[in-house]
Amino acid sequence: MTAAPSMSPADSHLPSGHLIQRMPAVRGRLTADAPLAPVTWFRVGGPAEVMFRPADADDLADFLAALPAEVPVTVIGVASNLLVRDGGVPGVTIRLGRGFTDIVADGMTVTAGAAALDLNVAMVARDAGIAGLEFLSGIPGTIGGALRMNGGAYGRELADVLVSATAVARDGRRLEFSHAGMGFTYRHSAAPEDCIFTGAVLRGEPGNPLEIARRMAEISDKRADSQPVRSRTGGSTFKNPAPEISGGHKAWELIDKAGCRGLSIGDAQVSEKHCNFLINNGTATAAQLEALGEEVRRRVFETSGVTLDWEIKRIGVPAEGSTAQ
C-alpha cells in the first residue's frame, strides 16, 4: 500500500499549483516554503520551495524515482559550510535526518550514515579504540558533506580513511562507490554531482582510547584558539590554492596580504581571528556575504595574481532586487 505524502498542516492552505502538490507519496516529511536560514550556520537565506526529509534510504530512492526529472534537487546537511542565497532554493531540497545517523564500529572499521556528524563518528571510533579518525572531530559537518568534498582537517582527509560509500542516484538507483571510484582530489570528489550519499565505511587502526581522546582534545583546542567558532560563520571560505600557484601561501595568508582582514560589507565581515572565515555580525544578508567573498577574491587576485576558489557551497537564487550594500 502506498503511503500518502506527509505534509505540515499549513501546506493545505497553499495556492493551487505549488510544487509540493506534485510531489510523490513518501513515508518521510514534505514541507512547503521551509525556512532555511535557521538551520544554516550563517543564519541567512531564503526558504526551500519544498523540503523533503526522507525516512530512510528506501524512502529516498522511491521518492527520487518518482520525482519528475525536470524538478531540481538540492541536498544539504547541517549547513555548516553553506551559503543559501536570499531568494531561496527552487525545487526540492533534501535534508537527511534520523534514518541516516547510525554509527557502528566493527573491528577497525566504522560504518556511518551520511547524516552522522563527523564529531560523533570520531567519538565512536575513539571509544572503540580505532585511531586515525580523530581529524573528523575538527570538521563541523556530516559524513555526507565530507564525502562530497573530501573533507579534511589537521593533516588528514576522508580519502585517507574511506573504504566505500553508498548513494542514491537522481533517478532512484542505488549506488556503491569504492575508494577508487570516488575520484578524490583536494576538497573534491568525482562522484556524480546529482547523487545523494547515504553512508560510508571508514577504516582506522588499533589505538589507545585515552591517546585518541588526547589528540581530539588538542584538535578542539586548536580550533577554538585559531577559528571564530562562536560566530555565525560558514567555516573555511576558500580552498587553499596549489602551492605551485600560490608560492606556498595558504588562502588566509593571501587574504591577509591583500589587506582584507576585518573588511566588511554591512554586517558581513572577514574575521579578524582567521581571515579565511566570513562572519555574520548580526543582520548580514546572503548577498552581502557573497559580495564580500567576491571582493576578497578580487583583491587577492589584484595583489598576488592568484584566483581563490570558493570552498563554501553557495545554493539558491538571489532575492529580487537584492543589493549587497
Q: Is 132 left (phi over 0), alpha (psi -120 to 50) or beta?
A: left
Catalytic residue among 187, 223, 261, 314: 187
Q: Bridge-partner residues for 109, per DSSP?
A: 106, 203
Q: Bridge-partner residues for 29, per DSSP?
A: 53
User: Active-site residue 236, yes or no?
Assistant: yes
Beta strand extents in the chain (DSSP E only) = 29-34, 48-53, 73-76, 82-84, 89-95, 103-106, 109-113, 130-131, 152-153, 156-157, 162-168, 174-178, 196-203, 205-206, 232-236, 264-265, 268-270, 277-280, 313-315
**Helix, strand, or coil here: 201?**
strand
- Amino acid 241 reads P
Catalytic residue among 189, 236, 271, 304: 236
**Helix, strand, or coil here: 45?**
coil
The answer to whether 143 and 124 have CB atoms below 8 angstroms apart is: no
- Amino acid 156 reads R
Catalytic residue among 218, 253, 294, 311: 311
Which class for 257: exposed (0-12), middle (13-18), buried (19 or more C-beta within 10 A)?
A: middle
DSSP code string of 244-297: HHHTT--HHHHHHHTT-TT-EETTEEE-SS-TTEEEE-SS--HHHHHHHHHHHH
User: Active-site residue 311, yes or no?
Assistant: yes
Strand pairing of 103-106 and 29-34?
A: unpaired
Residues with Cβ < 8 Å from 264, sequence gap 6 or more? 270, 281, 292
Q: Looking at the annotation, which residues are catalytic?
A: 187, 236, 311
